[in-house]
Amino acid sequence: MYGKRNAYFGSAKAGFQNSVWVELIGFDCTLPDMGVSDYVENLGFLPDKISLHLTSIDFVNSHRGMEKEALLPVYACSYGGHPRNDDRERQNWTNFGLKKLVEELHRKNIKVYGSFFDMDSDNGLEGVPLFSELHPELMPAGNGRMERGIIMIKRFADGSYYEDYLLKKLCETAADYGFDGFQIADGISSLRSNLWYSDFSDDLLEQAGITLPDGVEDRSIWLWQNKRTEWISFYRRRWGSFLKKIIGGLKEAGLSAIVNSAWTRDPLEALFRYGVDYRVIAEAGADALIPEDVSSDLAILSTGDNHGFKMSYDHRKLIHYEFLANLMTLRAYLPDVLPLTPLFMIWDNQEQWDVLHHAPTAMQRAAAGNFCHFVKGGDGLVTITNGPHFCLGDALKKGEWADIRLCLDNAYIDAPADVEGAAFLWSNARMERELNELLVNGKCHSARWLALLMRAGAMVHKVVRIEDLDSYSGDLVVTNPSLLPENELEVVKRYDRGRAFLFEKESGLTFDRPNPPCDGWPYPLVTCDPDGEMLADAAEKINEGCNARIADGDGKEECTLCEVRTGEHTSRIIIDNNEYYYVLPRVTTGRRIRSVKVLTKPEGYDAHCTADGFRVRIPGRGVDIIDVSYED
């Protein structure tokens, strides 16, 4: 790989943090320091946090203290108990060994978090039942779901709430092992299944205050047809109170909580699918949100990986922009005080996907996207993310970590001054109205509009909150203006510091069955989207005032472009390729070019530079990053 090493990792960067999600098999319990020195040397940097992937919440539920040394469940020794990685066979870790590992990581000034999912996994311990076997009442009931795992908001048979037991066990576990906190991961930060395909037990219906009439055969269908709004409202209220209790309780115990997003989703879809309101996570005092940015690997996953969803090729090309839109709208929806540290996908031995070796160009592309999209506020231009959460971090060689770091080094922009193109307007109030529209008729909501516009080539790489609009000058994109409250719509109508583009598409869809029509997080919602001609027209109008454009010809259809101004006479241009093959776009500029340097190419690479443009060869599903110096 080519690039500018140590631009990001060479020194600590204000507002950024780096963390690694790793299994115990990434360390070595036979060494005096549990393999920590070797691990950190291979990393090539000192992470702020390491989150230990212990697989199952059963680890906490069944924690037995530290009075005597005991074997850990096999699922804690490696993700799901898989037998080996490239470095070693799964080792027999004990509770004493794990405590020692935490101590050794602390000696390096690395904070240590425990993490796990909601789901069951074989513990490999003879005569030791799983917690869920002792308490089947906590498992999904009603229509059931595809994978077994505890429903966090359910009650024990005696009527007490599981969450009270969980908080107590989390605090005990942290105290015994010395954890600094927990990563609240999949199935705990939100439901594992869409709320229309999860649990419809008498317990949850009673908590929701919903009474079924006699003779209902399919509770999911009945709720969708008769109590659609009430069911989402219940989950929003109930899962919110669960997260507040867990995060708040950990904070009171002096512990930290970092929280996964709801299965990769933007703020509105998180509510629609899972009843999760991200603002609750911020208000409860979480230390970071980990958006599940899986754009680099989702696009190469199979139908079998995707719960039976056969993703079209066009959809695969949209994924990169969907996740950028998710990050941008998350940053706009949440207070600035909550860092966003998205997953940076490397590989996973257990789940058997591998970006590093099978799609390395997509890894560079994901890193570039994280650093060239912004929120525009009173304090100026702020990057939408606050550093990577590497996933997963075991069995990687020193040279592989060097390439991974280089992706971030190349992507990092030290002092962004502005980004060419229009700003996307964000309104919390409009989002609430969009939730109802999406629920009733599948209207295309704003985060989806943003993804579709960017995929069409529209240069919309910054987002501005309606509350900050007075501090912004430049072109503005406003989606679904009819759903803005009257006072916000008046602000938009009076906007005169640039062009304002208003986009909306009415929907007449109706649904007598849940949306999406199948369970599984990759399934898209059925929405009434703008057509390709409308999007292409919109992109052309938005881009009219931009300096750098992709010329007609090779790359015009396949590529999108972003230009970040880095100084009075300098810019960084990022060009994405949506196809699997090389493209050679010609980029033309309104400003006269003095020089170009393609960071992601070898020295001496000929970019065919002229005073008004240049040409680069963009790798399949990849990106090129170009530093440009202008004469004027």
Give, in order, the Cα–Cα distances in Å from 299 to each of 41, 363, 461. Answer: 32, 12, 21
Q: Is the dihedral of CA 196, 80, 295, 476 positive or negative?
A: positive
Name the domain boundary from 380, 415, 450: 415
Q: What is the dihedral of CA 378, 474, 339, 448, to 10 degrees?
A: 140
Residue at 159 is within a domain: yes
Position 631, amino acid:
E
Give, in order, the Cα–Cα distances in Å from 425 to each of 55, 430, 432, 489. Answer: 39, 10, 15, 11
- Mark whether 572 and 615 lie in a shared domain: yes
Q: Cβ distance 569 to 630 under 8 Å?
A: yes
- Mark whether 552 and 537 lie in a shared domain: no
- Mark whether 68 and 90 lie in a shared domain: yes
Q: What is the CATH number of the domain that holds 572?
A: 2.60.40.1180
Q: At residue 145, does pLDDT exceed 80?
A: no
Residue at 295 is within a domain: yes
For 203-241, write each residue's pLDDT tens digit.
999 999 999 999 999 999 999 999 999 999 999 999 999
Element (H, E) at 267: helix 267-274
Task: Tell me which residue of 367, 525, 376 sits closest to 442, measured CA to CA.
Answer: 525
Q: Which residues pair with 443 in a beta bridge?
A: 528
Task: Tell me which residue of 397, 402, 408 sits closest to 39, measured CA to CA.
Answer: 397
For 78-100, write each residue's pLDDT tens digit.
999 999 999 999 999 999 999 99
For 513-522, write each residue's pLDDT tens digit.
999 999 989 9
Q: Cβ distance 439 to 224 under 8 Å?
A: no
- Of the pLDDT bands very low, low, confident and very high (cuts 50, 70, 90), residue 141 is confident
Cα 592-545-570 angle, rounded to 5 deg? 40
- Mark whether 533 and 565 lie in a shared domain: no
How much is the pLDDT for 148? 78
Looking at the structure of the chain, the number of domains it has is 3
Residue at 448 is within a domain: yes
Q: At residue 311, does pLDDT exceed 70?
A: yes
CB atoms within 10 A of CB 202: 11
Task: Tell me which residue of 2, 8, 48, 42 sits closest to 408, measured CA to CA.
Answer: 8
DSSP code for 91: P
- Of the pLDDT bands very low, low, confident and very high (cuts 50, 70, 90), residue 336 is confident
Task: Tell me which residue of 494, 516, 632, 522 sits closest to 571, measured CA to CA.
Answer: 632
For the entire predicted model, the pTM comes to 0.97
Q: Cβ distance 503 to 476 under 8 Å?
A: no
- Mark whether 486 and 508 lie in a shared domain: yes
Cα 488-534-619 angle, rounded to 5 deg? 105
Residue at 4 is within a domain: no
Average pLDDT of 614-625? 98
Q: Cβ distance 481 to 458 under 8 Å?
A: no
- Mark whether 555 and 477 lie in a shared domain: no
- Mark whether 196 and 278 lie in a shared domain: yes
Name the domain boundary from 543, 565, 594: 543
Q: Is the dihedral of CA 147, 150, 151, 157 positive or negative?
A: positive
* Cα distance between residue 324 and residue 370, in whole Å: 8
For 381-400, write each residue's pLDDT tens digit.
999 999 999 999 999 999 99
Task: Tell me which residue of 276, 221, 269 sits closest to 247, measured CA to CA.
Answer: 276
Element (H, E) at 426: strand 423-426
Q: Cβ distance 399 to 342 under 8 Å?
A: no
3 state DSSP class of 159: coil
- Mark whether 320 and 455 lie in a shared domain: no
Question: In sequence order, which residues have a C-beta less than 8 Å from that of residue 258 and are 6 or more positions away?
Answer: 19, 49, 51, 113, 181, 182, 183, 184, 286, 287, 288, 289, 290, 341
For 506-547, write each residue's pLDDT tens digit.
999 999 999 999 998 999 999 999 999 999 999 999 999 999
- Mark whether 561 and 446 lie in a shared domain: no
Residue at 13 is within a domain: no
Q: What is the extent of the structural domain holding 604?
A: 548-630
Element (H, E) at 202: helix 202-208
Cα 271-272-275 angle, rounded to 5 deg? 40
How much is the pLDDT for 142? 59
Average pLDDT, the chain: 96
Residue at 277 is within a domain: yes
- Mark whether 85 and 163 lie in a shared domain: yes
* Cα distance between residue 268 and residue 322, in whole Å: 13
Q: At residue 493, does pLDDT exceed 90?
A: yes
- Mark whether 460 and 563 lie in a shared domain: no
- Mark whether 86 and 123 lie in a shared domain: yes
The tokens for 479 are: 């989606």
Q: What is the CATH number of the domain that holds 129?
A: 3.20.20.80
How much is the pLDDT for 144? 47
Average pLDDT of 405-424? 97
Residue at 122 is within a domain: yes
Question: In sequence order, which residues have a C-beta less than 8 Å from that of residue 309 and are 6 or more positions away?
Answer: 303, 518, 520, 522, 523
Name the domain boundary from 491, 522, 543: 543
CB atoms within 10 A of CB 562: 25
Residue at 490 is within a domain: yes
How much is the pLDDT for 143? 53
